[in-house]
Every structure is written in structure tokens, then in C-alpha cells.
Amino acid sequence: MPAATLDPYRKRDSVAGHGEFPLEVKQRLIGMVMEDPRFPEYLYGCYECGICVAACPSARFYDFSPRRIAQAASRRDVELMFQQMQEDIWECSQCFSCLRCPRGNNPGGIITVMREVAVKEGLHSAREALAGYSRIIYKIMSTGTQVSPDMLQPDAFPDWGPEVKDVSENLDLWRRMLPPETLHTTTTGWKVADRTLVELYVIWLETGALDMIAQVDRGIHMILEELMEERLEEEGIEV
């Protein structure tokens, strides 16, 4: 059974699916997407030429099309955009190959905005899509870098076969072979300067980026909030 919640959207979302959302809720959420200042920069109408689809890696593997994203957004089709927000947008790999669009559209950018709204509003689809990424979110937001080499372990990446075992066993050696010294670490993607990390913490706290995490994973949010506040306190910075 889904957990009980006071959030009426979330309850409907997790219990009955997106079809149960009232129209005004869909309009509000899609309104947030269209009112985003990036939205008009990412959309100039669509020729339906399909160039973005040909360039899109996700379209090769999933029932997904950046052209459908651009068309729905061009028509301001609230129902279809809301449906895409629940399903299609999570198939995008955010590679931005679709920037080849001759009309100057950025379907991947529209998807970024839609994802942000889905996360901010704590939609079930966002929580489900991000459920397997808690460890990665923690790593990125605590260290200021990305997936670290020591996360490349056979149990985490069984589909890599013997390759990942070889890499994990000789990790130190592989990393020391890399020319830039900032990459001679196995616990972070690269060494981040203390000052940079403190600046990142301030940005994530001040912009509300950290609060977005609370909507999808309260546990990780609490851990990160404590970590960041403690560090900023050491630096004498109040946020």
C-alpha cells in the first residue's frame, strides 16, 4: 500500500495514477513549465522534420520522441504535456543531441524544465525515476563532483561483466595513471577545492536546489542539509 500523505496531489498520484489529477492541477503544473524564463528560449515552433528524433539516442531504445515533446509544447497541450511529465521525460538522457534542430528548439531543455517542476512538486513519477539514484545524489551534492570511481563495483554494475571487476581491483593504479593530479582520487570524481565546495553548498541552499531533494528523498535531504550547514558554520557563513 502506498504511504498515507497529506499532499492531495501525491496521494492521487501514487494511488491512482496521473489520470486522476484534476484539470486545474495539470494546468498549474504545466503553467509552471511554460512560465519558466527558459521555456520561450527553448521553443520556436516545430517543422515536424524529425531531425531531433534521428539524433536522439533515447529514441532508439525507448518509445520516446523529442519531436513529440516539442509538438505538445508548441500546441500548449496541457493533457499531453502532463502525460509526458509523468512518463516520457524520464526516458531522456539529457545529452542535448536534439540541439541540431533547424528551428532552434531545445527539446532536451524543455524536458529539463519539466523534470524540475516534477521534482519540486514531488510527483510520484519523479520519486520513482530517482529512487535508484540516492547514492549518486548524495555523492554529487556532498563532494561537489560526480559518480566516484570507487562506486564502480561488480555488485553495483553486474551488467558490465568482468570489466568492472578488473577496474575495481586496480582502481588506485588506473587513477594514478591519469595525467591531471586532480583525478588522483578514488573517493571522488576529482579533487574539488575547499572554497569551491563551500560556494556550491551556499548555492544549493540559497537557490532551493537542496529543498527539491526533500520532495523525492527526505532521508538524503536531511543528511545533506546537516552536512552543508555544519560545514558553512565552520566557515562562519550563515544562510
Residue from 30, 33, 70, 81 in contact with ligand SF4 (CB under 6 A): 70
Residue 105, interface with ligand SF4 (CB under 6 A)?
Answer: yes
Q: Supply the DSSP symbol for 11.
A: H
CB 213 within 8 Å of CB 199: no
Cα–Cα distance measured from residue 154 to residue 18, given in angstroms and rounded to the nearest whole number: 37
State the residue number with the nearest CB to ligand SF4: 108
Is 77 an interacting residue with respect to ligand SF4 (CB under 6 A)? no
Instruction: Write down the residue that cell numbers 539529457 correspond to.
Output: 94
For residue 67, give the nearest of 78, 18, 79, 80 by alpha carbon. 80
The residue (of 79 and 91) whose beta carbon lies closer to ligand SF4 is 91
| CB contact at 8 A, 37 and 45 | no
Residue appearing with cell numbers 582502481: 171
Is residue 57 involved in binding ligand SF4 (CB under 6 A)? yes
Q: In angstroms, rounded to a whole number, what is the distance separating the alpha carbons of residues 67 and 106?
A: 10
Residue 138 CA to residue 120 CA, distance in Å, equals 17
Nearer to ligand SF4 among residue 22 and residue 104 (C-beta):
104
Q: Does 116 bind ligand SF4 (CB under 6 A)?
A: no
Q: How far is CA 221 from the centre of its chain?
A: 15
Where b means 16+ CB within 10 Å and e means fewer, 192-219 reads: eeeeebbebbeebbeeeebebbbbbbee
Counting contacts by CB under 6 A, is residue 142 touching ligand SF4? no
Interface with ligand SF4 includes 46 (CB under 6 A)? yes
Residue 98 contacts residue 106 (beta carbons within 8 Å): yes
Under rule CB under 6 A, residue 41 binds ligand SF4 = no
Interaction between residue 93 and ligand SF4 (CB under 6 A): yes
What is the C-alpha to C-alpha distance for residues 233 and 205, in angstroms, rounded to an integer?
Answer: 13
Of the residues 72, 73, 85, 101, which one makes contact with ligand SF4 according to CB under 6 A:
101
Candidates 8-16, 19-27, 106-114, 219-227; binding stretch for ligand SF4 (CB under 6 A): 106-114
Residue (50 or 219) nearer to ligand SF4, CB: 50
Does 52 help bind ligand SF4 (rule: CB under 6 A)?
A: yes
From candidates 25, 32, 34, 55, binder to ligand SF4 by CB under 6 A: 55
Pick from 74, 118, 70: nearest CA to 98: 70
Least Å distance between CB 55 and ligand SF4? 6
Distance of closest approach, residue 220 Cβ to ligand SF4, in angstroms: 25
58 binds ligand SF4 (CB under 6 A): yes
Binding site for ligand SF4 (CB under 6 A): 46-52, 55-58, 66-67, 70, 92-98, 101, 103, 105, 107-108, 111
